[in-house]
Amino acid sequence: MELFQMWMNTSNPDENNPIPLDLRRTVWCAGAARGGEREWRFLTLRLQAARVAAARDAMLAAMACTRQVWLLNQFLEWAVSENSPVRKQDAAAVVGNVARTPVGYYVAREFFYNRIDDLFKTFNGQSRRFGYIIKTLLDQFTTQRELDEFLIFHDKNPKYFEETKLAVVQAIEKAKVNIDWVDQNKDLVVREMRKAVIPEPALTSKQRRGHPKYISSLFAIHNISSIRLKPFRFYFGK
């Protein structure tokens, strides 16, 4: 956040960016995720002023990192609106970026079902981009319930999917693979991670002299509320 704040405080942020080029995508995302509306609006202004495609792509991805649901909804609204900060050619990227984030996935999924008509009109004649949205959304599925919900929606609204039949088939197959993997491995993963959590004071002197590997992470899987561990330090020893 320090680098992001330094950037915000520069007199001409569109010309003078103190963030190293190779860190910008990461820092921008962190700024949006840890900040609030002020940081997000700042990125919006930089997006509108950007002239380099790579910078625009990175900013579009960073803006999707926010954890503010109402900002994510506004971002998606811009994707299907005329004269918004989001260009029409970037609309699919916006939806895809939001769908790939932990908070944004749920927002994007609801937006897809509730605003399918607006999405369809926005991408009329652009089956590749509409197919990209479908693939990206279904790629996040980890439960059969999510897939069943999509299949029911698909069967009730066939007109929206006539030009993206192949993309739908591919997306469904990928979702099935993801769901099968989670079903087969989630209990094992959670069990092993819980077994691996050992308070540091409990480590033996032999373990301390060795080379234990520590992991600091947030483990979370979409829609599996029971599988959510806050950051811990894990010891994997013999």
* Token pair in block for residue 215: 């992991």
| Distances from the Cα of 84 to the Cα of 3, 80, 109, angstroms | 28, 9, 21
Rg of the chain over Cα atoms, rounded to whole angstroms, equals: 21
Q: What is the mean pLDDT of the chain?
A: 86
- What's the pLDDT band for 196 if we cut at 50, 70, 90? confident
- Supply the pTM of this predicted model: 0.81
pLDDT reported for residue 235: 36
| Distances from the Cα of 29 to the Cα of 35, 43, 65, 70, 197, angstroms | 10, 10, 5, 17, 29
Sorted by where each starts, the structural domains of the chain and their CATH numbers stand as 67-233 (1.25.50.20)
pLDDT reported for residue 212: 37
Q: What is the mean pLDDT of residues 117-130?
A: 95
- What's the pLDDT band for 45 if we cut at 50, 70, 90? very high
pLDDT reported for residue 192: 86
Give the 3-state secondary structure of residue 46: helix
Phi-psi region of 14 (alpha: psi -120 to 50; beta: other; left: phi over 0): alpha
- Range with the lowest mean pLDDT among 1-10, 62-71, 99-108, 140-149? 1-10
pLDDT at 202 over 60: no
User: Percentage of residues in the chain with pLDDT exceeding 70?
Assistant: 83
pLDDT reported for residue 194: 85
